[in-house]
Chain A
């Protein structure tokens, strides 16, 4: 795996291979992040494509100033989601559960996974925006806590506290939904 900084620098010079590698490295993570934030796989598909087209157009503006590339990339995805949610609130509200129904058309989800995923989506849908974001960045896109803090523009301590409150809230929503292993 190539060093990310040199990869990004080459991509900034429109090197096709470097761009392709960054794309493959982050595509699934960005998609998952958007699915969890929106609860809608169809919208997530469109938005994921938009995110990478924006990256293509604006990568030259990215500067290495202590922030990793992933933080910049997820910030673009975050803005995309915020725009979508803002527009959605202006339209007649589609319940999270209803938008999720479209997600079930996704044949790529395993049958036994669907139930748990639906429960997770519903539970996550009841969290606050910030809690939902920390869950999606940390557990779905698997970013280290320091990168989550940079994406969210918060201190490490604040994100740890938010992560704690998000898991506590999620547990409350999911109680009885998941079968936890017995110790």
Chain B
């Protein structure tokens, strides 16, 4: 038993020398001549096993997995914005959805709609947006809301950058990225264009929901089928794909130096995000 344990120790020491320090089998065998025969066979097996098991994940899998991981990470960061009010549960979402409907054009929700990341009502603004998304049943409708939320984020980024508050640009940038990255998954649907939410969410500045259909739409319990929802969304994306990076670039010249790196990142996120969203909707 003791001998067996000693051999297991020696084997491990040699493996450490081979695997970590890159020594040769021979160098190790020289130090343990009595166990050399048995040791040699096992070390060769271990090395052969190590060499045969160098399995590289497929590059396309790695790319996809990395993208999903970063999206999940950004969503987690975005949720942190709601932590102040601890409105994470389903009940909280349901309650705020009702509140949004009731108090949309007045009171706190309306006041919050124009708030900026350095203001106390900003979390209310984000919670309201979350409720709009939850109240929108169709994927294309959600994608359109995301597209309009991007417009809000760009305004916030510009506002905060102008004030030189680089640290507070991080949250809207994170959200900008999450919104843009959510769009491809929502529009990459095969088949017919989808119905969008017809009952407009409260008209509290942007993000106005998709406008009611002008003819051709069919009313059914408050839901209008809007056959050109994708076309409308595409037009919005095309327009903003040029407008948003240009607006960010314009402000880049005049913001304080410390805000420039975050703005450059926002420009990059905006350009790549729109490229992906447009490519998805054109497929």
Q: Mark A63-81, 1 if CB is under 8 A from B, else 0.
A: 0000000000000000000
A136–B55 Cα distance when bound, in Å, is: 12
Residues of A within 8 A of B70 (CB): 16, 20
Contact call B57/A160, Cβ cutoff below 8 A:
no
Q: Mark B63-74, 1 if CB is under 8 A from A, else 0.
A: 001101110111
The size bracket of the interface on A is: 35 or more
Q: Mark B96-117, 1 if CB is under 8 A from A, else 0.
A: 0000000000000000000000
A149–B209 Cα distance when bound, in Å, is: 56
Q: Does B58 contact A (CB under 8 A)?
A: yes
Contact call B48/A109, Cβ cutoff below 8 A:
no
Q: Mark A8-47, 1 if CB is under 8 A from B, else 0.
A: 0000001010011001000110011001100001000100
Among the interface residues B16, B19, B51, B52, which one has the most CB atoms of the partner chain A within 10 A? B52
B60 (CB) vs chain A CBs: closest residue: A108
Known: A23-B66, A56-B76. A140 touches B42 (CB 8 A): no
A20–B65 Cα distance when bound, in Å, is: 12
Among the listed stretches B5-13, B126-134, B221-229, which one makes contact with chain A, having 4 or more residues with CB under 8 Å of it?
B5-13
Question: Which residue of B49, B54, B62, B73 contacts A56 across the interface (Cβ within 8 Å)?
Answer: B73
Taking CB atoms and an 8 Å cut-off, the chain A residues in 92-131 that contact chain B are 106-109, 113, 116-117, 119-120, 124
Chain A residues within 8 Å of B, Cβ to Cβ:
14, 16, 19-20, 23, 27-28, 31-32, 35-36, 41, 45, 48-49, 52-53, 56-57, 106-109, 113, 116-117, 119-120, 124, 135-136, 138-140, 142, 144-145, 157, 160-161, 163-164, 167-168, 170-171, 174, 178, 180-181, 183
A–B pairs, 5, beta carbons within 8 Å: A36-B55, A106-B58, A116-B51, A117-B53, A120-B53
